Chain A
Amino acid sequence: MTSDGELSVRAQVLLWTAQRASAAVLAACVLVHLLTMIYAVQGGLTAAEILSRTRGSVGWAAFYALFVAAVAIHAPIGLRTVLSETFQWRGRALEATVLMIGIVLAVLGFRAVYAVFI
């Protein structure tokens, strides 16, 4: 970070790269998630049915953990650009705000993954 609170150019580029990479992960995750939903509701949608699939399943836990991580990386970086372009907002407060949003998304997401795993 530079003295006036702006991220270094390298950090800006790495953020962009992380957003691109997480977008590629999300594209696959969203597809699997939607297809699973469509398949799963064929016999009616119940909590018990969902939990029977996810409880103790390391595979589903790993899949949704990856999904949550991709969201927690992708969304704040995009929001950073939207806020910057819409409100001409730059600097340390912006970086801190979107970092917090990323942390909140990660905590809520991982908690939900854990809740349907145990």
Chain B
Amino acid sequence: MSTLHVRIWRGGEEGSFQAFDVPRLESQTVLDVVTYIQRSLDPTLSYRFACRVGMCGSCAMTVNGRARWTCRTHVAKVATGGLLELAPLANLPVIKDLVADMTPFFDKWARARGRFQGTRTRKDDFARVSPDTEQRRLADAGIECIGCGVCYSSCDVVAWNPDYLGPAALNRAWTLLNDVRDADGRARLAAVAGDAGCHACHTHMNCTERCPKGLAPTASIAGLKRATALAALRGELAVTE
């Protein structure tokens, strides 16, 4: 059995990498490696996971310098030369070891008004939205986000401008803007516009390149740029609270 050399970040914002040797197995995922280390080598190692099948978005880490979902990343794909270096997600505070603090990430979803605001009650019939409509198609394109933070961690603009809402929150806002049942569109447009919003995006497309679900937040952000620019020209971009 061959051996995989693993270096894992230990500590908080200040810390260092600790080396481990892990038995290399067939079809081994990066999350399998971390779990092996915690269960067999060092039970004090902290990391986060839940579903193990790419649904929950909680196991994202920096793997050999690149943000990835670890449960669906095979070691064979990333461990060139039998080396694996694991760190917490970038652009977020570090709590401990591989656990990043997701608070700023989800606070920005709230700031982007990422919550559905319906108008119907349980007494109303359910809304019928044809899958053929343009808006439904646009919403569908971004709806499968699992909130893993890979895009946020990979975004240069987030690193340069800590106020920037980031790709995931903006993508969420775009799907809601195209949800014909949602009634918060105007306030949401104002919330996602400007220097801390979609207009800060430089279209580097790191988010689109690295999204494990194959989404294109860059396209969603481009849609928001157009919609907010039109609203601003019409004088409809008022910040309402």
Contact = CB atoms under 8 A, between A and B. Distances in A.
A associates with B? yes
B225 to A, nearest CB: 7
Contacts of A14: 232-233
Interface of A is mostly: helix
Interface string B207-237: 0000000000000000001001101110101
Interface string A60-85: 00000000000000000000010011
With most chain A CB atoms within 10 A of its CB, the pick from B229, B231, B235 is: B229
Interface in A1-28: 7-10, 12-14, 16-17, 20
Contact of A10 (B157, B160, B161, B237): B237
Interface in B182-226: 190, 193-195, 197, 199-200, 225
A7 B239 CA distance: 13
Given A16-B225, A85-B161, A9 B193 contact: yes
A95 to B, nearest CB: 11
A90 B194 CA distance: 13
B50 to A, nearest CB: 35
Nearest to B235: A10
Interface residues of B, number: 20
A10 B229 CA distance: 9
A86 interface: yes
Contacts of A7: 195
A78 to B, nearest CB: 11
A86 B159 CA distance: 10
Nearest to A86: B160
Given A9-B190, A84-B161, A17 B233 contact: yes
Nearest to B225: A16
Given A17-B229, A17-B233, A12 B161 contact: no
Interface residues of A, number: 15
Contacts of A17: 229, 232-233
Contacts of A8: 239
Contacts of B231: 13
Nearest to B199: A16
B84 to A, nearest CB: 32
B204 to A, nearest CB: 12
B160 A13 contact: no
Contacts of A13: 193-194, 199, 228-229, 231-232, 237
B70 to A, nearest CB: 30
Nearest to B228: A13
A14 B225 CA distance: 11
Contacts of B157: 85
Contacts of A16: 199, 225, 229
24 contacts: A9-B193, A9-B194, A9-B237, A9-B239, A10-B237, A12-B193, A12-B194, A12-B195, A12-B199, A13-B193, A13-B194, A13-B232, A13-B237, A14-B232, A14-B233, A16-B229, A17-B232, A20-B229, A81-B195, A81-B200, A84-B161, A84-B195, A86-B160, A90-B195
Given A16-B229, A84-B161, 5 more contacts: A9-B193, A9-B239, A13-B232, A14-B233, A17-B229
Interface of B: 157, 160-161, 190, 193-195, 197, 199-200, 225, 228-229, 231-233, 235, 237-239
- 8 smallest beta-carbon distances between A and B, as pairs: A12-B194, A13-B232, A85-B160, A9-B194, A16-B199, A10-B237, A17-B229, A13-B193
